[in-house]
Chain A
Amino acid sequence: MNEQITKILDEMPAAPSWLYYRRAAGQLRALAASGANIFANGFKVAFTGSFTMEPVSEYAIVEAARQDIGLDVYVAPYGQFSREMLDTQSGLYAFKPDLTFLMVEPTAAGTDQETADHMVSLAHHWSSAGNGTLLVCTFAAPPDWPLHLLASTARERLQKANQYLIKALANDPRIQILDLDALAAYFGYVNAFSPQMLAMARVPFSEAFLKLLGQKIGSCVKAVKGLSAKCLVLDCDNTLWGGIIGEDGLDGIALGPDSPGREFVEFQKAILELYEQGVILAINSKNNEADVLEVLRRHPHMLLREKHFAALVVNWQSKADNMNALAQELNISLDSMVFADDNPVERQLLRQMLPQVKILDLPANPALYAQTLRQTDFFTKASLSEEDRQRGAMYAAQRQRTQLQQSSVSLEDFLKSLEMVCSIRKAEAKDVKRAAQLTQRTNQFNLTTRRYTEAEIAAMLPDKRRAVYVLGLKDKFGDNGTVGLAIVNKQTESWRIDTFLMSCRVIGRQAEDALVDRICRDAQLSNVKQLTAEYLKTPKNALAADFWDKMNFIKTSLDEKTSQYKCDLERYAPKEFKYLKLISINQN
């Protein structure tokens, strides 16, 4: 986004009143008038109606700017909407807007029904002479039933008029409906309407509701211009289900009618709603593909199945690389993709490496996932075609796996921006529980998969022939806690790495390299001649298969299940880690 726009938006206070919207809108208009082509997308929008439309236009300008859309606006004079719509010589027609926004109160031309009739005739007239798209608001009015809570005839009349309006305008593809009544109901009528604003400014809405309306107008502009996102790309673990499939297994993940599984079922329902409206679904997950497929095919509570996904990219490469691969496979652009992942680090990484991709910021509480998805405007559509309804299925039918290709985008800036602090130290009594848990639960990045009980770990701590290292990692998003573990068996002449594992959420950030480096340094300091290591293959740890090779250890033997390695300590040069601030405690 343009720096000047960002500056204007950032200068607004946290809960800005209309005054600040008015000021920011004025600044944005002046900036646009200076001739600079500052927005990614610019549109001409005309506002007309039976209210004072200036406040609506000001909120729309600012809220659209937040979506990087520039609005060049025309505001019809107060009270002139009929003349402006009927007279093709009016300012409205002369402006040649991309979008005309019409918002009328139900009493503007008599009864609700009479006003609806009047609006339909205005719309038909516009349709024969006007430019672009007409966006007609349904009638919204505060309910009149708080005293008796019975069905109200006034409300019934309003709803009837709205249904008539929607039906009468449904067949003109250039006319769209913004359901203002539904929006006010969603927001809460009591909070949406402001008698004070109506009395003083002749617009009935509260400032808070004007903000929401401004956002929706921005989304409508995008929808009309076909700028809505097309594809929702989903992570798996802790996004589609609770827990980690690679660790917890099919029976262990949280997914089902009761919490902590219900949250994820509800999220999947919200995802299915989008699918049924033509949004393409895809998966981008760091996992073993077989594990994810097993959940999609066999888990009794999955609502989303293999057939719903147009593409699945499940591997251990970076999500940015995978996103590029998805874009290529589905033949859509990155800026039409929305990425949903529970992990803020993955989201930030993608933001930095592929700024075109839109990010759905899932809250920490999975119970709020569905609501968060339903409230986003990324996928707002002006209308639904038959093709929209079929699209998800079409893509899924055409799914072809394409070979993933490495992208040339660099990880270095991202690693640097994480501001990681890595502590490596010998385990103490307080670490026993976590250390044992790591050996028992870590399957994927676990070189030997040796399971130890707390008692066994506790017995190692005072043992001179053993060294137990624990690794903690913090970054700017928070403390990941103890996420790495190594156990070394020590003899005078040679050391052997008995256990080496990392929690997979931090793999690829060089912490694992730092742990190896620490062991090598300690071995050198102890004048050890030889350091050996091994990789014991399991159905789950393919991720770590070439780890010792990457660490430049020398392979000494291998068979189907086991690879043996050694490190040449005499030639080993201690490493520097540019992106990790290392805190090494109790060196040797």
Chain B
Amino acid sequence: MEMNTHDRLERIFKDAFSIEKLTDDLSIDNVPGWDSMAHVALIMTLQQEFGIAITPAEAIELTDIASIKNYLRSVAH
């Protein structure tokens, strides 16, 4: 399950931001193109990809890979 989530995230980041390898330290501060507008588009994509609803308040916190993974893990259960 964890592998699967990682791979799906990696594909999204590859498609959206041309990131080759997904690591936990990637964040809105160090990924070129991940700006505030792209962040909303990313959240919409995560909702679609993982079949979940993310509130705007939650979305503000999901600005690095570690947080996104933690979040996906928490809603999976």
Contact = CB atoms under 8 A, between A and B. Distances in A.
B75 interface: no
Interface string A3-21: 0000000000001011111
Given A19-B12, A23-B15, A54 B37 contact: yes
A55 B42 CA distance: 13
A496 B43 CA distance: 76
B48 interface: yes
Interface string B1-41: 00000000000100110000000000000000100011011
A199 B44 CA distance: 12
Interface in B30-67: 33, 37-38, 40-45, 47-48, 53, 56, 59
A22 B42 CA distance: 10
Given A19-B12, A23-B15, A200 B59 contact: yes
Nearest to A12: B15
A498 interface: no
Interface in A184-205: 196-197, 199-201
A19 B37 contact: no
Contact of B44 (A15, A23, A52, A196): A196
A19 B45 contact: yes
A197 B44 contact: yes
Nearest to A22: B41
Is the contact region of chain B dominated by helix, strand, or loop, or is it mixed? helix
B56 A19 contact: no
A542 to B, nearest CB: 59
A112 interface: no
Interface string A49-71: 00010110000000000000000
Contacts of B56: 196, 199-200
A22 B18 CA distance: 13
A19 to B, nearest CB: 4
A23 B37 CA distance: 12
Chain A CB count within 10 A is highest, among B40, B42, B47, B59, for B40
Interface of A: 15, 17-23, 26, 52, 54-55, 196-197, 199-201, 207
Interface of B: 12, 15-16, 33, 37-38, 40-45, 47-48, 53, 56, 59
Given A18-B45, A23-B15, A201-B40, 7 more contacts: A19-B41, A22-B41, A54-B37, A196-B56, A197-B40, A200-B56, A201-B41
